Chains A and B, each alone.
Chain A
């Protein structure tokens, strides 16, 4: 079936502009995550949505970053007044509800959006 999709795959913007990144999770997955990955670095957690619960925003680096998830499905990550240090690959992942087995359900990652801020 269809996996997690993200758009655009690449985004080049000028410093100071706002950008919106989109994530379409796997159908039926209630959990959605955003990460970013700077060149040569590991993944940095940004935000987590679970169903109708309040999102965990503890990883957002500044108030220029925000995310929403409409209808429990598609999510949009918005970066306002972009800075050069925002340049990174932004990854989205989704997972199904916890089944009751051991641990937490695996996250399925999208291909990412490569953001370049000039």
Chain B
């Protein structure tokens, strides 16, 4: 049970911000939100994670709503190389349960 809901697919224009939503309405207090992505034929790659505060790193920003029932991953300036499947994961222990993710296609 992945515990998250994401749109199946999204498109984004190159150079624009990509905003990927995730619903996790059953998240509990000690569970973190993690984002990974998987570029075709490669293993998943860690992007970012957070508990309740917004987070930013060199790859992306993570915005978590105050009630923690949803979050948004933001790629501020999407490039063609950001085309991938993006997985939102709620993690409360050491294993991770991946859902189907969102297939993001960045178009020129």
Contact = CB atoms under 8 A, between A and B. Distances in A.
B95 A103 contact: no
A93 B43 contact: yes
B68 interface: no
Interface in A15-43: 31, 33, 35, 41-43
Contact of A42 (B46, B91, B93, B98): B98
Given A56-B95, A107-B96, A43 B44 contact: yes
B80 interface: no
A107 B91 CA distance: 12
B53 to A, nearest CB: 9
A41 B100 contact: yes
Interface residues of A, number: 26
A27 B87 CA distance: 26
Contacts of A103: 32, 34, 49-51, 91
A72 interface: no
Contact of A45 (B50, B51, B95): B95
B43 A110 contact: yes
A106 interface: yes
Nearest to B55: A102
* From A42, A48, A93, A104, residue with most partner B Cβ within 10 Å: A42
Contacts, number: 60
Interface string A67-105: 000000000000000000000000101000000001110
A8 interface: no
A61 interface: no
* From B46, B93, B101, residue with most partner A Cβ within 10 Å: B46
20 contacts: A33-B95, A35-B98, A42-B87, A42-B100, A43-B44, A43-B87, A45-B98, A48-B95, A50-B94, A58-B95, A93-B43, A93-B44, A102-B32, A102-B49, A103-B50, A104-B32, A104-B94, A107-B44, A109-B43, A109-B44
Interface of B: 2, 32, 34, 42-46, 49-51, 85, 87, 91, 93-101
Interface of A: 4, 31, 33, 35, 41-45, 48, 50, 56, 58-59, 91, 93, 102-104, 106-112
